[in-house]
Amino acid sequence: MPSTALDSSIFRDIFTTADMRHVFSDEFRTACYLEIESALAKVQGRLGIIPEDATREIVAKCKVENIDFVKLKMQTERIGYPILGVVQQIVALCDNGLGEWCHWGATTQDITDTATIMQVRAALDLVEAEMVKITAALAMLSKRYRDTPMAGRSNLQQAVPITFGFKAASLLAAFQRHRERLKELRPRVLVGEFAGAAGTLSSLGQDGLKVQAALMDELKLGQPEIAWHTVRDRIGEVGCFLALMTATLGKISTDVKLMMQTEVAEVYEPFHEGRGSSSTMPQKRNPISCLYIHATASLVRQNAASLIEAGVADHERSTGPWEIEWIALPEIFLLSSGALSQSRLLLEGLQVDEKRMRANLDLTLGMIVSEAVMMGLGPHLGRQRAHDLVYDICREVVATNTPLVELLARNAEISKHLSRAELEKMTDPANYLGLAGEMVDRVLAIEAAYARA
């Protein structure tokens, strides 16, 4: 009976995805074990280490449909690890005692770690596919709203104007960096393990490294330069990457949540009948995807810390930290896939209210561009005098609810230097966007170059 949100028949497709669940299923993991055992038999047969008829028999029997999972559960509970149970079942299936050559020279952790890396490889492919879609959605928003002015915010207060395209492009740039991180980490992480009891391949004598190289070639994994049974930075790096990437998704969900507030109302999650409704307040439109992204991204970060803890292992084969990975790594990928899926749905269907963005810019009666006024007056009055004068006028705006431009135009000290038309231009938020558009273009140019590559 399902007992967690990740395997619940009700919640599982909210917090994760079916494809990622498959990668970390018992069936897929066991299929990886069998692929490794089959590949090991093939390369050892080719190298003359085991008889060729043993290779053929082992390869023929290393099929996931041949595994009795009820029996494997009992074997794993008794032994403590699933590998020996899998090997015992294969050995029993082979004719003429040829199965005794299965798992020749290997140790449990060799198979377990290599299978984990195979799962990581498949899981990262799923992650990348979602990242590509999210990147495309952010690029579309960046381009479409390149010149759409809105309030930039600092400490939850209006700061100076930006554009919505600028906001989207800053997130797009982050995903471009995440894409580079993924590209860079693959060669470091997608490395198998085949090292024997204490990592020295002593069981295979002088043939050890030949077998290791051929096995990794067969599995299309990198060959380790040395055993990494208890040096777990590869797994930790994957966790940290996913923590960084989903933290950006958390940033997206946080901004959208805040911008969906009734008093702000600048963007909305995609609308579906009944989505985000309240059981008691019919007017409500709650940010549903944002809530799920926030929750899953938070748990990814917590589990990433667990993977780092698993890196503090003892000697050449550890007593416990390794098993942390068995729990934390699948959860990190499952939760990451949920965060990615919800983020893609959110961004691809995001509803943007440009008129409300403009209206919010005008909420402070022009004070959002007080910096522009101060900088414009600086050459005439000096920076400090300009600052103090604009500060006092802003206080008058608040006290009298009079637009900033009106008070500026009435001020004799200011009107000596700037006309009403110049002040109106200076206090239009759309005229104080800095180099936002050029920066958006730079990010989009990087995206276009990536698409051409």
The catalytic residues are 278, 317
Give the N- to C-terminal CA distance of the chain in Å, as an integer: 48
* Cα-based angle 119, 123, 129 (whole degrees, multiple of 5): 155
Pairwise CA distance, residues 214 & 70, whole Å? 33
CB 396 within 8 A of CB 365: no
CA atoms within a 13 Å half-sphere pointing along the CA-CB vector of 359: 8
Closest to 340 in 3D by CA, of 28, 171, 126: 126
Q: Are 34 and 24 in contact (CB under 8 A)?
A: no
Judged on CB neighbours under 10 Å (0-12, 13-18, 19+), 314 is exposed
DSSP-H helix ranges across 196-232: 208-219
d(CA 73, CA 269) in angstroms, rounded, equals: 44
Would you call 449 exposed, middle or buried from its count of C-beta atoms within 10 A (0-12, 13-18, 19+)? exposed
Residue from 378, 452, 441, 369 nearest 139 by CA? 441
Q: Is 236 exposed, middle or buried (0-12, 13-18, 19+ CB in 10 A)?
A: buried
Place of tokens 């969900």: 253
Task: Identify the burial level of 241 via C-beta atoms within 10 angstroms of its C-beta, where 0-12 means exposed, 13-18 middle and 19 or more buried.
Answer: buried
CA-to-CA dists, residue 324 to 216, 235, 236, 296, angstroms: 25, 11, 11, 19
Q: Write the CB contacts of 42 (distance below 8 Å, at least 6 apart in sequence).
A: 55, 59, 218
